[in-house]
Amino acid sequence: MLILKPASHADDMEVDRKEEIVTPGQVITKDLAFMRGHGTFTLNEQLVASVAGKIERVNKLVSVKPLKTRFNGEIGDVVVGRIAELGNKRWRVDIQGRQEATLLLSSINLPGGVQRRKNEADEMEMRSFFAEGDMLSAEVQAFFGDGGCSLHTRSFKYGKLRNGCLVVAPSALIKRSKSHFISLSCGVDVVLGLNGYIWVQKHVFISPEMQNQPEGLYINENDEISMEEREAISRVCNIITALVNHKQMIYETIIVFMYENSLEYQPVELLSADLQKSLIDSAISQLEAAE
Amino acid sequence: MISKVEKDYISKGIAAGIRNDGRGPNESRQLELETGIINQASGSCRVSVRGGTEVLVGIKVSVGDIQELDTRDEEEEAMKNRADVGRIVCSVECSPSAKIVLDKRQIEEMCILYTQILNRTLNGPQGGLDLYKLCIIPGSVCWILNIDVLILNYGGSVFDAIFMAVRGAIHNTRLAKVKVESTDGAFDFEVEDDETEVLEGRENVPVAVTAFQIDKNHVIDAMPLEEQCSDSSVSVMVNKHGKLCGVQKGLKGSLETSLLINMIQHCQNKGQEVISAMDSFLAQEERRIIDLVEPVGFR
Amino acid sequence: MLFSKSFIKKTKKGSVIKIVKEHYLRDDIDCGIPSCSSCKTESQLTDGPYIIPDTNMLYHQIDLMEHQGMQNIIILQTVLQELKHKSLPIYQRIRNLIPKKQIYVFCNEHHRETFVKTEMGESPNDRNDRAIRRATEWYVAHCNKNNFILVTDDRDNRQKAIKQGLAAKSVREYVETLPFKDILDLVANHDEVLDAQNSFTYPEHLSQIQISAGLKSGAFHQGVLSISGHNFLEATTIIKHNNEEKTIHIVGREHLNRGIQGDVVAIQVLPESEWKSSISTIVEEEVAEDLNVDEKEKIDLVPTGKVVGIIKRNWRPYCGTIDVSSVQQTSTLSAVQSVFFWSMDKRIPKIRIKTRQAQDLVGKRIIVAIDSWEKNSRYPAGHFVRVLGEVGDKQTETEVLLLEHDVPFAPFSPLVLSFLPEEGENWIVQDKHLANRRDFRGWDICSIDPPGCTDIDDALHAKLLPNGNYQVGVHIADVSHFVKPENAMDLEAQRRGTTVYLVDKRIDMLPGLLGTNLCSLRSNVDRLAFSCIWEITPQAEILSCEYTKSVIRSKNSFTYDEAQARLDDPNMNDPVSLGIKALNTLAKQLRKKRMEAGALTLASPEVRFRMENDSQDPVDVEMKELKDTNALVEEFMLLANIYVAKKIYDTFPDSSLLRRHPKPPANNFEPLIKAVAPLGIEIDPSTSKTLSDSLDNAVLPSDAYFNKLIRIMTTRCMMQAVYFCSGTLSEPDFWHYGLASPIYTHFTSPIRRYSDLQVHRLLAACIGYEKDYSSDLVDKTKVKEMCDGKMIINLVLNYRHRMAQQAARSSVELYTHLFFKGKTLQEEAYVIRILKNGFVVLIPKYGVEGIIYSSPNPDEPAVLTLNAEENVLVNGNIRIGLFNKVKVQITVNEAGEAGQRSKLCLELIEPSIKGMVKPAESKPKAKKQKTKK
């Protein structure tokens, strides 16, 4: 939860407030010693915020992390995206950012071996790999000059997503952590895309042999999913929606806590506003107790 | 935009009776309804569905000449020839800040379609409102209800929300009392300062329930992804007494008759439920307004 | 804190809109009580009980409020706002009172603790009453003292207040506690005691909605009620019917239905079967029954109607006297009596007022205001305002005259005088004034004016040019140099509109320093002027015209007689005299041309009084005569006015201030045409030319005065000439009928008329003299407002002009009566109008009119009877018809004696008819006591 403190005049040299929220145009500091990072600019020899958000200070670097913004990726970020269109030896992927991301044909794993030269047949068959509308998980490889990112799926972790459904969250609520591929005990996997797209799917056990089975990469069909699995998936989806509605950061631990607390209810009941609030409150108290 | 696997997931789930968020095919999402939030309008209502859809309806009343009607609809032509009814003019608009995945032209077509359905349904005895009571001076002056719908956010099931908000706004609308004096055949009228009169017949205004057909099943209160899985939809306008006031088929696919009848039946039943829930809630709202408690308004 | 108030309103077009207003509340509004420690605002209140009036009290009791005994008043914002909506003039009066008295205006609507929100279904009146009670309650709690009194005539409100523990009194109850003797008289009547004869009721007035519905459908028409001067039970009103203006007659008490002179009423035209005849009756005072129309007489029917509702009342305070016959002699001096009041204005009915000073007021001129006229009261109810003075006293009578004609006569305020030039009397023309002016100081300019004239507006000159043509110049005082637009002096002049000329006094439009000194074109001193210079051939053809600002030095300021002497003397050949002779020749030719074009020469029975030096009493009366020099000046003034009109219209087609004379409707002349037909004379009013020719031919060899009489009668058929804004009418409507000119304006007398000043400004802008002129000059709406105003008929040129004329006439009438006081004279007279119960005569020597009744003694039967077909009054063989010459005896009936207005009393001497002359002993003194009605 965000705590708003009344802003006082930033006359001092130090910028040492832990949880300061600033608004665009608000003066952060008058000290010229600081370097300006993202979300700030200089005006009349003063450092002024250009977005509404939290001040972050790393040594001499001051930046403002905006409260609500479109996805700004870093290299190495895990994202979940939807193919928007096919281009010239590439796909354009919608990742809820300022621009659509690019997935080059050369950045995907092709069936028939890890390293294989692309030939023209591949070009014609692009749709057999990813068609419009397909969901996939990928990693940000690089940035183009205009700010758009280039993705790759060159690991078996990444690739086409199936056996589940999508939940949309604001990208700011996804907490950065070590692993974005979560496996819950109930047989549900969650892919937390840092761009805000979250894929909840039935847990699929990938045996090492399968890793070498290139044909399995682009299957366009779901496996059999039982009723209980569906229920579990819908439960997780609703939990994540609850977190989004209450502007709570989304990460593994809290999902787990909430899942456990929610077991006594039906997935449908989890849609009610009151229940969501109480679950979140109890999860938070659990977290604080755990610290 | 939807992927094949998502479609498959959804349709198999519905066949099994469970949707993405755990609801049954007949269950609708929780929603919030508030009336009387716009001071300048004679009646207003906001409906927001948990899941994103938010609709705002404002009703402004004005007086106008009975003869002046510019419509292309034949049914309205018939109404126009009646010299002793008021009329209702609807318009549906989509706010530019709404999160919609459709392009501009599609949005415009959607708005025009909804406008026409609203106009058709409300301007007539099936609309529930007593239009004769809206006449002030027969043959010359009548009340005109201008119903303006603004779609603030899109999260599926927009049409149902629109109709619900319209019904709520109509319930909330108050007219000023009119005194008509006649001298030697010429009439003139005066209005009171305050709006105190309710619209006659407001409890008979229908609600809409839309069912989307997915394979052999159908769902009510569909989410955007579910709508994209579907080929055809049926919107049913049903009123308090269970009577059918209007039916609209949407999307581009074709329906089997048996499925159609099924869907209509379900929608009718669902509609009754919705109306009874709404009515008790609207009564609460009225009490709140009389008690001068401030509404929450917009968040 | 913010509230939003919303309510529904119907716009003029007929559509209904919802208005939402934001309303804020504050904590920091002070109470204004001096002893209050927490509130710091200084107010004019002192210690002691305070009263909080409600709206109706301020509205109905305005005269009471102006009394000095009413102090320590807290006026609530609610009350002030309601008053503003109810009546703007009364609101203005209260606003003007506030700085002068111990009044504090408390903004209770914005104070958080006293703001009252309208409950569901509560009427605005109830809500306002509640707000007033709440504010009173707050005051009591805030100051911890219960000396706040809520004063209202609304019993309901009082009861509710008393229940809340507040002190509440009715107006009368409160005023009775005040230590002033006469203050109770000022309390207006509301809960009125009904007339003794309760059976009388007027028809109910229709509601505003019914009236507006009727107006829309054409069933009713809107018009201003114009009561006949002879009979206050007859009225006419002009309505617009099918785009034509028609005159509708309204006859009888019931049809008049409580309409009073000047009210805007809704008329319903009666079916033709009920139309009355055009011959009317004289009714001067109270008559026992209404005179019934003889059903058999269906001659000369005119459209008749009745009043069905009042759209707007135009009441004002009226001057007049108490009807002595209604005063009861009581021994108790302070008993309240209900007495009747006669207004000076004959068109106003008797007003009933309550007063304690009835006996003191007899024989004095007083002012009374009307409060209401309920449908079951025969007469309107009013209240006493103040005393002016003794009846017959010249000062009092003059003041009465000025008040009745709404002439502003207060001395100029210091603010206005501050805009006069600093040098005052020592102001002279300096070199700096010469910029953009031509120097005519060497020219032979002279002015010709009536004797004793001090405000000289105009001067003339004529010079023979080398090419044989004449250069003629008309120079007008340059008032616009001294009076700049929109300053206090200009606004005051605009308000006055014109200088008012009474017999013994002159109420100036501009301060005397300007009017009689700095602007006046006196001789032998440099003066600023605005000149029109023409080049004219000896045959009076105008070749060119130019306009310029100038400096002149008039050589002589002649009277008409002196100038005439110069004209007639062949030995006077100095430049000025030659100039006058030349002007005369040209003027004669110009006049001839005008007559050929159809200009009218009308006549008025104007006379002039000669005063005794000290006593200011008129000694003798003379008829005004027109000499050549009069005509000379007139011709050139007309020429200047016409040319200037053309010039300003050319440059400012939208916003020129012009003057027009509409053509009189044909039916105005019908009575006259019919009356002279038997004498063998034809009057053709179709164009002004034909009319002019008819008048020239209307001569009776036996009677020299006859032609003048006809001209006087024709003058009465004319319409009024009016000022108008050129942008509001199309060119054909600019026509001036009387002068037969397509366009006309007033330019030549800026000292005494505001319109001329405005035209000066326009002309200065035309010639480029004034580089930046006020945008108001070209604002069409502003000019239109100046002419005719908005709904409030004040501050307007046409109105002021009319009122000034009427005031002048009334002043003449006053002096006439003073002249005849105590004398009995016999003079010749002409019959000018035949009525049912008498006839009206005009006495040429004195220029007065009077009425002779068919039955001079009301107790005896009529001596003369009316023969309606031939329009004559007969007694045996003697017939009295229009234009007959008779001889009458003139005496004056004093006002105040018999409780009636002062009037001339005429008796018919020749032709001698028995019963028409009263025996010498019985002078018409106190008439019989009439029963109170």
Beta-carbon contacts of C288 under 8 Å, excluding residues fewer than 6 positions away, are none
Residue-level pLDDT at A137 = 92
Give the highest mean pLDDT range of A115-129, A230-244, C720-734, C812-826: A230-244
Q: Token pair of B19, please?
A: 């949707």
Domain definitions of chain C by residue range: 21-178, 189-390, 416-657+726-803, 664-718, 821-910
B30 contacts A271? CB cut-off 8 A: yes
Q: What is the pLDDT of residues B198-253, one digit of tens each?
A: 888 888 899 999 999 988 888 998 998 899 889 899 999 998 888 888 899 988 88
Beta-carbon contacts of C417 under 8 Å, excluding residues fewer than 6 positions away, are C489, C511
Asked if pLDDT for residue C215 goes beyond 90, the answer is no
Q: Which residue of B has its CA nearest to C308?
A: B183
Percent of chain C exceeding pLDDT 70 equals 86
**Chain C residues with CB inside 8 Å of B62's CB?**
15-17
Residue-level pLDDT at C348 = 86
| C21-178 and C189-390 in the same fold | no
**What three-state secondary structure class fits C304?**
strand
Residue-level pLDDT at C927 = 42
**Distance (Å) from the alpha carbon of C265 to chain B's nearest alpha carbon:** 16
Residue-level pLDDT at B76 = 56
In whole angstroms, how far apart are CA C368 and each of C327, C329, C359, C387? 16, 21, 16, 9
- What average pLDDT does this structure show over C769-788? 66
Closest partner residue to C16 (CB to CB) among B40, B63, B181 is B63
User: Beta-strand (E) ranges in C100-166?
Assistant: 103-106, 148-151
Identify the band that residue B111 occupies on the pLDDT scale cut at 50, 70 and 90: very high
**Distance (Å) from the alpha carbon of B60 to chain C's nearest alpha carbon:** 9
Beta-carbon contacts of C196 under 8 Å, excluding residues fewer than 6 positions away, are none
Give the count of Cβ contacts less than 8 A between chain A and B. Answer: 84
A84 contacts B9? CB cut-off 8 A: no
B188 contacts C16? CB cut-off 8 A: no
Closest partner residue to C219 (CB to CB) among B62, B181, B186 is B186
Tell me which fold the domain C21-178 belongs to.
Rossmann fold (3.40.50)
Residue-level pLDDT at B65 = 79
| pLDDT, mean over chain A | 82
**What three-state secondary structure class fits B66?**
coil
C212 contacts B63? CB cut-off 8 A: no
Strand partners, C51: C73, C149
Q: What are the residue ranges of helices labelled H in C532-627?
A: 560-568, 575-597
- What average pLDDT does this structure show over C198-204? 73
**Chain B residues with CB inside 8 Å of A271's CB?**
21-23, 29-30, 50
Tallying the residues shown for chain C, one arrives at 933
Range in C152-161, C282-291, C370-379 the model is least confident about? C282-291
Question: What DSSP string runs through C744-773?
Answer: ----S-TTTBHHHHHHHHHHHHHTTSSSS-
In chain C, count of helices (H) and strands (E)? 24, 41
A133 contacts B4? CB cut-off 8 A: yes
Give the count of Cβ contacts less than 8 A between chain B and C. Answer: 74
User: What is the distance between the alpha carbons of residues A171 and C88, in angstroms, rounded to a whole number?
Assistant: 64
Beta-carbon contacts of B125 under 8 Å, excluding residues fewer than 6 positions away, are none
B18 contacts A227? CB cut-off 8 A: yes
Identify the band that residue A208 occupies on the pLDDT scale cut at 50, 70 and 90: low
**Distance (Å) from the alpha carbon of A236 to chain B's nearest alpha carbon:** 9
Q: Which CATH superfamily is domain C821-910 in?
A: Nucleic acid-binding proteins (2.40.50.140)
| pLDDT, mean over chain B | 85
User: What is the distance between the alpha carbons of residues A136 and A155, in angstroms, rounded to a whole number?
Assistant: 12
Q: Which residue of B has its CA nearest to A227?
A: B16
C14 contacts B62? CB cut-off 8 A: no
Closest partner residue to B21 (CB to CB) among A132, A221, A271 is A271
Strand partners, C834: C839
- What average pLDDT does this structure show over A72-81? 90
Asked if pLDDT for residue C600 goes beyond 90, the answer is no
User: What is the distance between the alpha carbons of residues C139 and C144, in angstroms, rounded to a whole number?
Assistant: 8
User: What is the distance between the alpha carbons of residues C433 and C419, in angstroms, rounded to a whole number?
Assistant: 18
- What average pLDDT does this structure show over A75-82? 92
B39 contacts C213? CB cut-off 8 A: no
**Distance (Å) from the alpha carbon of C314 to chain B's nearest alpha carbon:** 25
Identify the band that residue A7 occupies on the pLDDT scale cut at 50, 70 and 90: very low
Identify the band that residue A212 occupies on the pLDDT scale cut at 50, 70 and 90: low
Q: Which carries the bigger pLDDT value, residue C709 or residue C602?
A: C709
B184 contacts C216? CB cut-off 8 A: no
Closest partner residue to B9 (CB to CB) among A222, A231, A238 is A222
| Chain A interface includes B30 (CB < 8 A) | yes
Asked if pLDDT for residue C745 goes beyond 80, the answer is yes
| Chain A interface includes B13 (CB < 8 A) | yes
Residue-level pLDDT at C694 = 85
Residue-level pLDDT at C605 = 61
B181 contacts C207? CB cut-off 8 A: yes
Percent of chain A exceeding pLDDT 70 equals 85
Q: Which residue of C has its CA nearest to B186?
A: C217
Residue-level pLDDT at C586 = 92
Identify the band that residue C214 occupies on the pLDDT scale cut at 50, 70 and 90: confident
Residue-level pLDDT at C684 = 85
Q: Which carries the bigger pLDDT value, residue C528 or residue C688?
A: C528
Q: What is the pLDDT of residues C330-358, one digit of tens each?
A: 655 566 778 888 888 778 888 888 887 77
Q: Which carries the bigger pLDDT value, residue B193 or residue A259?
A: A259
Residue-level pLDDT at C287 = 46
**Chain C residues with CB inside 8 Å of B61's CB?**
16, 18
Residue-level pLDDT at C196 = 47
Region for C899 from its dihedrals, namely left if φ exceeds 0, alpha if ψ lies in -120 to 50, beta otherwise: left
Identify the band that residue C932 occupies on the pLDDT scale cut at 50, 70 and 90: very low
- What average pLDDT does this structure show over A98-122? 75
Asked if pLDDT for residue C795 goes beyond 70, the answer is no
**Distance (Å) from the alpha carbon of A282 to chain B's nearest alpha carbon:** 22
Region for C497 from its dihedrals, namely left if φ exceeds 0, alpha if ψ lies in -120 to 50, beta otherwise: left
Give the highest mean pLDDT range of C498-512, C710-724, C815-829: C498-512
Residue-level pLDDT at B181 = 80
- What average pLDDT does this structure show over C216-234? 81
Secondary structure of C59-96 as H, E, C letters: HHCHHHHCCCCCCCEEEEHHHHHHHHHHCHHHHHHHHH
User: What is the distance between the alpha carbons of residues C371 and C382, in angstroms, rounded to a whole number?
Assistant: 5
Q: What is the pLDDT of residues C645-681, one digit of tens each?
A: 999 999 888 888 899 888 887 777 877 887 788 778 8
Range in A12-21, A138-147, A221-230 the model is least confident about? A12-21
Q: Which carries the bigger pLDDT value, residue C535 or residue C810?
A: C535
- What average pLDDT does this structure show over B268-287? 88
Residue-level pLDDT at C677 = 80
Question: What DSSP string runs through C346-396?
Answer: TTS--EEEEES-HHHHTTEEEEEEEEE--TT-SS-EEEEEEEEEETT-HHH
Q: What are the residue ranges of helices labelled H in C538-652?
A: 560-568, 575-597, 628-651
Residue-level pLDDT at C435 = 85
Give the predicted TM-score (pTM) of the model: 0.63
Closest partner residue to A234 (CB to CB) among B1, B12, B21 is B21
Residue-level pLDDT at C897 = 44
Q: Which carries the bigger pLDDT value, residue B263 or residue C201?
A: B263
Q: Which domains does chain B carry? A: 4-290 (3.30.230.70)
Q: Which residue of C has its CA nearest to B143?
A: C16
Q: Which residue of A has its CA nearest to B19?
A: A234
Interface mutation vs chain B, best among A132, A198, A222, most B CBs within 10 Å: A222
Q: What is the pLDDT of residues C617-629, one digit of tens each?
A: 555 655 566 788 8
Tell me which fold the domain C189-390 belongs to.
OB fold (Dihydrolipoamide Acetyltransferase, E2P) (2.40.50)
Residues of A engaging B, defined by a Cβ cutoff of 8 Å: 82-84, 94, 131-135, 160-166, 220-222, 225, 227, 230-231, 233-235, 237-238, 241, 245, 266-268, 270-273
Asked if pLDDT for residue C288 goes beyond 50, the answer is no
Q: What's the ipTM? A: 0.81
Interface mutation vs chain B, best among C10, C116, C126, C209, most B CBs within 10 Å: C209
Q: What is the pLDDT of residues C836-861, one digit of tens each?
A: 778 888 888 777 788 888 776 667 77
A234 contacts B19? CB cut-off 8 A: yes
Range in B187-191, C181-185, C320-324, C650-654 the model is least confident about? C181-185
Q: Which carries the bigger pLDDT value, residue B18 or residue C625?
A: B18
**Distance (Å) from the alpha carbon of C788 to chain B's nearest alpha carbon:** 30
Interface mutation vs chain A, best among B1, B2, B4, B5, most A CBs within 10 Å: B5
Asked if pLDDT for residue A116 goes beyond 80, the answer is no
- What average pLDDT does this structure show over A46-59? 89
| Chain B interface includes C206 (CB < 8 A) | yes
Q: What is the DSSP letter of C334?
A: T
Q: Which carries the bigger pLDDT value, residue C87 or residue C464?
A: C464
